Amino acid sequence: MLACVIYYSANILFGLANRKFLISILGIEYQGVNGLFGSVLNMLSIAELGIGTAIIYHLYRPLANDNKEMVGSIMQFYKNCYRGIALVMLTVGMILSVKLDFFVTASSLPVNIHIVYYLMLADVIATYTFAYKRSILYADQKNYIVAIINTFFVVCCNIVQVGILYWTKDYYLYLSVKLGLRLLENISINIYVSKHYAYLSAKKYPKIAKDLLKDIIQKIKGLLFHKIGTFVVNGTSNILISKFLGLALVGIYSNYYYVISAINSVLQQAFDGTTGSVGNLLATEDSSKRLSIFEELNGINTLFSAIAVNMLFVLINPFIKTIFGDEFVLNHTIVILLVLNMIFTNQRRVFGVFKAASGIQYEDRYVPIAESLTNIIISVILLFKFGLAGIFVGMLVAQCCVYLYTFPILIYRNVMKKSITDYTKYLLFVFSFHIISLSSVSWVFHVFIEETIMNYAIKGCVACIQTILIFYVFWHNTDSYQHMLNRIKLIIKK
């Protein structure tokens, strides 16, 4: 976990410095291009079909049992799949390049957007061409190896890119360095895996069993819909902003998105390791124990998320203003919508852990489609009336789909054996806490604390303490409160 924290910290700090230099030296529209083409190319990840998730799931048991024959067969199957995926992504990526003008409206950039796109496409293809060997490290609980290698190359890449910006101001070279170091990063991981799992390349393994292939295909069918939904909800905002509002606004929003997604990634690290334990819980304990652990984990997640959200709410604009300048700050209404979306996203986390541990991937396959359609329709309609705010309202409304079906029906009723009424009461309790804590933090800073750089640390500390106190008021009489305290101590210790 420490290696992962170091990786995310390095990624955030060096990434912010990189963005600062890019915007200062070349301009905000270059950051807009990065954000736009990043979203467009994320569309290609749909071609991955969720195979990686399904494969890692099926590697747990044979690795635990030291069944090298089965591990070899699965990895060989995975390798062949990813070669085909890389070819499909390259083909679709080249087709999309013909219609780049659809995504980019008026732009004053003195670069060929097609060359920029091809360099970024090559970066994505390089990732998928070599990525399959990472899966065995994840399945073998050696994420820290990947984190250590990633950290080294993240630091090197950002330092070299900043140097290129400073000395040459060459955007093509800036992107080429990232591509080159990405290849070296993947080659390094492949060398490590080849050395420590030498049996993978020692011989040609038989094809995977038909029943295993059938189960993988079944999971992929469900995961495909989730891949589409994830892209539409998280990836289309930059495309819509670029198409209707301009590249410069994409660049401005991408700074906010970068900070928010970085915070969410750090929070996710605290819960990534719980899926296996929850899977064992579901297999061995009754519904009352499941509910107790769920409420305990969700309480911890709610506390950490509320602290992060409330601190972000009072600090994000001053932070952006300090790092990038006044002209790159979004208005208060937009920040409120971003924070509300963050709350909805974070409250999905523990539900997601129980969903993954339960193997629920196919049963709710149509929910992400409903989420996607809701997001696009509402975002496009409101975009013309409210501009940027309309897009984020669409994202917020779309997120409600999982709260209306997947969580109450498949998780709360089927796994925890509780009624929809109980689910509704619990959800109202959690979101009431978020609304009251966010409102009170906002009021305190609006009335009592002035907007100065010297007050940033004070604002952060006050927001944190205030959130913890309100959490205590809400939770101290619940059955899971003491369990939560013990769990938090354990997380901090680890």
What is the chain's pLDDT, residue by residue, as a tens digit (494 residues)? 566 677 877 888 898 899 999 999 998 989 988 888 888 887 777 666 567 777 777 787 788 788 888 888 888 888 888 888 888 888 988 988 888 877 776 566 788 888 999 999 998 888 777 777 888 887 787 878 888 898 999 999 999 999 999 999 999 999 999 999 989 998 999 899 989 888 888 778 888 888 878 877 777 776 677 777 777 777 788 888 888 888 889 899 999 998 998 888 888 877 766 766 777 777 777 888 888 888 888 998 999 999 999 999 988 988 898 889 889 999 989 999 999 999 999 999 988 888 877 777 777 878 888 888 898 899 999 999 999 999 999 999 988 888 888 888 888 888 888 899 999 999 999 999 999 999 998 888 766 555 555 577 778 888 899 999 999 999 888 877 777 777 667 766 65
Parent domain of 438: 273-364+405-494
Are residue 131 and residue 280 in the same domain, yes or no? no
Amino acid in position 225? F
Are residue 345 and residue 421 in the same domain, yes or no? yes
DSSP run (H or E) holding 363: none
SS3 sequence of 56-120: HHHHHHHHHCCCHHHHHHHHHHHHHHHHHHHHHHHHHHHHHHCCHHHHCCCCCCCCCHHHHHHHH
CA distance 29 to 108: 8
- 458 within domain boundaries: yes
Rounded to the nearest 10 degrees, the angle between the axes of helix 420-447 and helix 287-323 is 30
Are residue 52 and residue 142 in the same domain, yes or no? yes
User: Six-digit token pair at 137?
Assistant: 């490290």
Are residue 161 and residue 227 in the same domain, yes or no? yes
In total, the chain counts a number of residues equal to 494
Are residue 75 and residue 210 in the same domain, yes or no? yes
Cα-atom radius of gyration of the chain, to the nearest Å? Answer: 23
Q: What local confidence, expressed as pLDDT, does residue 449 receive? A: 56
Residue 33: which of 123, 111, 125, 89 has the closest Cα? Answer: 111
CA atoms within 13 A on the CB side of 187: 6
Q: What local confidence, expressed as pLDDT, does residue 143 receive? A: 78
Contact 35, 251 (CB under 8 A): yes
- 66 within domain boundaries: yes
Contact 480, 292 (CB under 8 A): yes
Are residue 184 and residue 46 in the same domain, yes or no? yes
SS3 346: helix
Q: What local confidence, expressed as pLDDT, does residue 269 receive? A: 75
- 97 within domain boundaries: yes
Contact 54, 223 (CB under 8 A): yes
User: Which of these three, 246, 262, 292, is where a domain ends?
Assistant: 246
- Which class for 33: exposed (0-12), middle (13-18), buried (19 or more C-beta within 10 A)? buried
Query: Which residues neighbour 392 within 8 Å (Cβ) at sequence distance 6 or greater?
Result: 237, 334, 337, 338, 341
- 268 within domain boundaries: no
Residue carrying the six token digits 């915007």: 23
- 373 within domain boundaries: no
- 381 within domain boundaries: no
Contact 440, 470 (CB under 8 A): yes
Residue carrying the six token digits 């709350």: 343
- 377 within domain boundaries: no
Amino acid in position 449? I
CA distance 408 to 402: 8
- 384 within domain boundaries: no
User: Which of these three, 211, 246, 281, is where a domain ends?
Assistant: 246
Are residue 143 and residue 194 in the same domain, yes or no? yes
Q: How many domains does the chain have?
A: 2
Are residue 184 and residue 331 in the same domain, yes or no? no
Are residue 242 and residue 277 in the same domain, yes or no? no
User: Which of these three, 196, 231, 246, is where a domain ends?
Assistant: 246
Are residue 41 and residue 1 in the same domain, yes or no? yes
Are residue 156 and residue 277 in the same domain, yes or no? no
Are residue 224 and residue 103 in the same domain, yes or no? yes
User: Six-digit token pair at 457?
Assistant: 């640390």
In the chain, % helix, strand, coil (3-state, to 5) comes to 85, 0, 15
Residue 491: CB atoms within 10 A of its CB come to 15
